[in-house]
Amino acid sequence: MSEEFRIEHDTMGEVRVPRNRYWGAQTERSFENFKIGEARMPKEIIRAFAVLKKAAAEANRDLDLITPERADLIKAAADIVLSGKLDDNFPLVVYQTGSGTQSNMNMNEVLANVGNALYNAGWKKGMPLPEPLPSPLSGTEERILHPNDHVNRSQSSNDTFPTALHIAALLLTEDRVLPSAEKLRDCFKTLEKKYWDIPKTGRTHLQDAVPLTLGQEISGWRSMLDHDIHQIRVSSESLRELALGGTAVGTGLNAHPDFPALSASYITRLTGKEFVTAPNKFQALTSKDAVVFVHGALKALAADLLKIANDVRMLSSGPRCGIGELIIPANEPGSSIMPGKVNPTQCEAVTMAAVRVMGNDVTVGVAASQGNFQLNVFMPVIAHSFLESANLLADAMESFRVHCAEGIRPNYEKISENLERSLMLVTALNPHIGYEKSAKIAKKAHQEGLTLREAAVQTGFVSEEEFDAWVDPRKMTGAASDAEQ
């Protein structure tokens, strides 16, 4: 048994920890005490924690609060975490303490133990990191780093977790969600131009309506994404404010007065994203309004994606007994029993991701409302929900673009057939013969199975020549004038 474990201790006593893991006593206690679900702390939060600990080490070194040697060891250990080599050293679940204290300590303990192992292996700044990494210390070796006194210097879980949340949320939003949305938007822009002049039946209330062009219809999808991208960019600005430096309740107790701004500047340098220290740390610790704001923009994107995907799958329904105006790529067999069936699977995946995001928005909103006194204690579930939404949207948009949207093409024959049968072309007669006479033509055509042209001439309200001159689907779309503009 002694070969499998080593002994670590904290203020509550000794704890057995797996010998080959770098975490310490507080991590192990959390691992044993919270067997709730299978969702682990998101890797984006782990990476963000490593960034902020590295920045904090730099700031503490500059302020003479830790030695340069200790700062170098913390930074080296943080770089190893950022490389992903230590992912299995962060085992804690989302449903732990609501401040994320155990995840903060998980990072503190891993960085301290890795740093101590490097120190005892003789590593110095400028040297390559040893491969493989030295094992966690288990004896009387010198421990130059303490997880609380050095790695967590000038910090509290109460300000580090919201800081990690903002870092992770901004990076994921700007580096994954927005690029995926822009690529899909550009795909629709290409289709919009390509099919601008194809008149087709419009539909409102799921019923036939006056015509528009296929390009105009796609332009609506493109414009939705334009608006979503703008809203996400605007809302994301609020994520740039960091709570770091507020420590336990927002007063900054035990932190140097220059630490907040200095650490924010290092986080900016490390991430390539602009971050600033939050002007009011009491708000930064207890309010999660920035995350609610941005997730609301993600929900708006999800709502538009749900609409777009539904449009595509309904317009491509058939192939013989549906609307059938669009042809989408056939990626895989659609049925285990019906040979030859092909389903709009990419559309279905997008819509499922969208409704998951909508559910996450409820979780984020309710959790954010629980900022009791000086701290919100729902932060892990907020982080998990937000980051899941962002990843789902980024992945879903990329998959939908590559495997569906880029392959959308018109079924010209079906579009023409549906347009010719549409009763709502009669709307073009309104200015010439009035609404009531036009309605009589439409009803006669529908009840007697006539074309509009036949019904119009039989009523005597218009001649064949007048009908042909006045009822021109392409002119009704205004596409020509739109194209000129």
Catalytic positions, written as ranges: 205, 335
Residue 254: C-alpha distances to residues 65, 75, 106, 181, 259 (Å):
11, 21, 21, 43, 10
| Residue of 266, 278, 272 lying closest to 54 (CA atoms) | 266
Q: Specify the 3-state DSSP secondary structure of 64.
A: coil
Alpha-carbon distance of 261 to 388, in angstroms, equals 30
Q: What are the backbone angles phi and psi of residue 409, rounded to the nearest 5°?
A: -145, 155
Whole-angstrom distance, CA of residue 192 vs CA of residue 220: 9
* Cα(441)–Cα(459) distance, integer angstroms: 7
Residue 8 in tokens: 């670590």
Contact 367, 385 (CB under 8 A): yes
Cβ-proximal residues to 168 (8 Å cutoff; 6+ apart), any chain: 42, 44, 45, 47, 48, 383, 387
Distance of CA 182 to the CA centre of its chain: 13
Residue 408 contacts residue 347 (beta carbons within 8 Å):
no
93: DSSP letter: B
Q: Residue 140 carries which DSSP code?
A: S
DSSP state of 177: I
